Amino acid sequence: MKLEKRDYDAIIVGSGPNGLAAAILLQQNGLSVLLLEGKKEIGGGLRTAELTLPGFKHDICSAIHPLAVASPFFETLPLSQHGLEYLFPETAAAHPFDDGTAAVLFKSVTETARLLGKDEQAYLDLMQPVVKNWPLIAADVLGPLHYPKHPLLMAQFGLPAITPSTWLAKKFKTKEAKGLLAGMAAHSIQPLSNVATSAIALVLMAQGHLKGWPVPKGGSEQIAKALASYFASIGGKIKTGFYVESLNQLPSSHAVLFDITPKQLLKIAGHKFSPLYKWQLERYRYGAGVFKVDWALDTPIPFKTEAVKRAGTVHIGNTFAEIALGEELIWKGRHSDKPYVLLAQQSIFDASRAPAGKHTAWAYCHVPNGSNEDMTDIIERQVERFAPGFRDTILAKHTFNTAQLEEYNPNYIGGDINGGVIDIGQLFTRPVLRASPYKTSAKGLYICSSSTPPGGGVHGMCGYHAAKRALKDIWGISPTQTLP
């Protein structure tokens, strides 16, 4: 399609994993692309820094990356040739209980099921079909609402996925199976009684069985650096320290794709949108926030259970009922004194994260959106509960409340790291109900952030689908790259 000459064919605003994915796909298809980032470093949630003491590298936001290795688009990219190396913990995730036992997510489905006792067969019946079918349904699950390539397989996945976790838990009898499910479902950052909270649990457990839950060697920033390096190698341009507040700041282009949420998009381009589209964006809902702590440690965390010591990720929250109660309180604008804590201990598997013999740990709990409550003591008490002596190992700590997270990354409105609540009302219609969720009402303007399907997580699929839509709308072409 012949178009008049512009400074660039396309501009991407924001260099999170979705902005990088969109930039790469457009550049791969022969366009000239400029990627703009407001901070001095690229990456969005994919950044690593010495937050506590010199030599201790902490992931500022995302830390463990099952969806990055599961991404149908990232899988097509030669990222290992651009410095990205994943390290796979022996145990993907563990869930300790007060009695000293733990549920464990191993790569083997049968080994995971075997430790669930009476629920062994129930777990196999639930997870084996998801694991078997995932390669065929991944691109459909991680995309906008559309008619799937394999409708029967998608239906087989969708029936349990659409249920509330409280319903799915009824398949199990043991505290171990129920707790494992609760820890996975709580990644959705909403009450476990909400419809579709089972979907994230099924996806995360399936990835643990298929490819594991890896950490990038050297920190999460290595994913962003590899994506940026590949983008530059195929001719893409990157400009950092360029914070966009107005369309007038941008060079001329045929398309602008925004890796930002509706709140920022309205400020930058709201005057270009139709009244209906503006009204829809203004009604977009943000979810609960997080309070995050990073620790520099003298020794590994002394968890009571050996399997938990070997896990890359630890879900702290005890029983299904305790986690469900805590998440319900957050949804109602209250704080839990025994919150679900998501913890990662990357240095156990990546020696580059800390000086010799020392360690790092990363954790957060959910809080009401915009909360200023300091949850440090409560989080540490939760860790100490399952790892007596933990506090004695702490050399230094750094915290982020919801306001500080939003200051770090404007996409984290009120501390919401998912770019908006991912409940049934916004699962497939985020940010608005339209034929294409990526296309705004203004010609040439698109949104490609986690505020679009399939939502939060480091997978780049929001950016991929937005760029695919722009290619079709403006240039009349289909991507040369096909997904597995």
Q: What is the pLDDT of residues 291-324, one digit of tens each?
A: 999 999 999 999 999 999 999 999 999 999 999 9
Q: Is the pTM of this model over 0.85?
A: yes
3-state secondary structure of 234: coil
Q: What is the pLDDT of residues 440-455, one digit of tens each?
A: 999 999 999 999 999 9
Contact 446, 257 (CB under 8 A): yes
Q: Which two tokens stand for residue 99?
A: 């009695």
How many Å apart are CA 369 and CA 286, to the nearest integer? 8
Residues 6 or more apart whose CB falls under 8 angstroms from that of 409 comprise 44, 45, 61
Categorize the per-residue pLDDT at 336 as very low, low, confident or very high, splitting at 50, 70 and 90.
very high
How many Å apart are CA 14 and CA 243, to the nearest integer? 9
Categorize the per-residue pLDDT at 178 as very low, low, confident or very high, splitting at 50, 70 and 90.
very high
Q: Which amino acid is at 198?
A: S
Considering the segment(s) 8-47+217-284+416-475 as one domain, its CATH architecture is: 3-Layer(bba) Sandwich (3.50)
- What confidence score (pLDDT) does residue 424 get? 86
- 400 pLDDT higher than 70: yes
| Alpha-helical regions (H) of 146-258 | 151-161, 165-168, 175-185, 197-210, 221-233
Q: Which two tokens stand for residue 416?
A: 């919401």
The average confidence (pLDDT) of the chain is 96
- Helices 17-28, 221-233: inter-axial angle, 10-degree rounding: 20
- Helices 320-331, 175-185: inter-axial angle, 10-degree rounding: 30
Q: How many residues does the chain have?
A: 484
- 71 pLDDT higher than 90: yes
Q: Which amino acid is at 135?
A: P
Q: Where in the chain is the domain with CATH 3.50.50.60?
A: 8-47+217-284+416-475
How many Å apart are CA 476 and CA 239, to the nearest integer? 28
Q: Which two tokens stand for residue 159?
A: 């029936």
- 38 pLDDT higher than 80: yes
Pairing of strands 33-36, 237-239: parallel
- 179 pLDDT higher than 80: yes
Dihedral over Cα of 293, 294, 297, 300: its sign: positive
- 341 pLDDT higher than 80: yes
Strand order in the sheet with 311-316: 102-105, 91-96, 311-316, 341-344, 359-367, 289-297, 394-400
Categorize the per-residue pLDDT at 406 as very low, low, confident or very high, splitting at 50, 70 and 90.
very high
- What confidence score (pLDDT) does residue 428 get? 78
Phi and psi angles of residue 445, each rounded to the nearest 5 degrees, phi first: -110, 130
- What confidence score (pLDDT) does residue 145 get? 86
Dihedral over Cα of 331, 336, 340, 343: its sign: positive
| Cross-strand pairs, 316 | 341
Q: Where in the chain is the domain with CATH 3.90.660?
A: 86-215+287-408
Q: What is the pLDDT of residues 426-445, one digit of tens each?
A: 987 899 999 999 999 999 99
- What confidence score (pLDDT) does residue 241 get? 97
How many Å apart are CA 137 and CA 124, to the nearest integer? 19
Q: Minimal CA–CA distance to 201: which of 394, 422, 30?
A: 422
Q: Which amino acid is at 36?
A: L
- What confidence score (pLDDT) does residue 90 get? 87
Considering the segment(s) 86-215+287-408 as one domain, its CATH architecture is: Alpha-Beta Complex (3.90)
Q: What is the pLDDT of residues 76-100, one digit of tens each?
A: 999 999 999 999 998 999 999 999 9
SS3 content of the chain, % helix, strand, coil (to 5): 40, 15, 45
| Alpha-helical regions (H) of 79-119 | 109-114
Dihedral over Cα of 374, 401, 289, 212: its sign: negative
- What confidence score (pLDDT) does residue 427 get? 82
Contact 309, 390 (CB under 8 A): no
Contact 469, 438 (CB under 8 A): yes
Task: Tell me the percentage of the chain whose pLDDT exceeds 70.
Answer: 99
Q: What is the pLDDT of residues 135-156, one digit of tens each?
A: 999 999 999 988 899 999 999 9
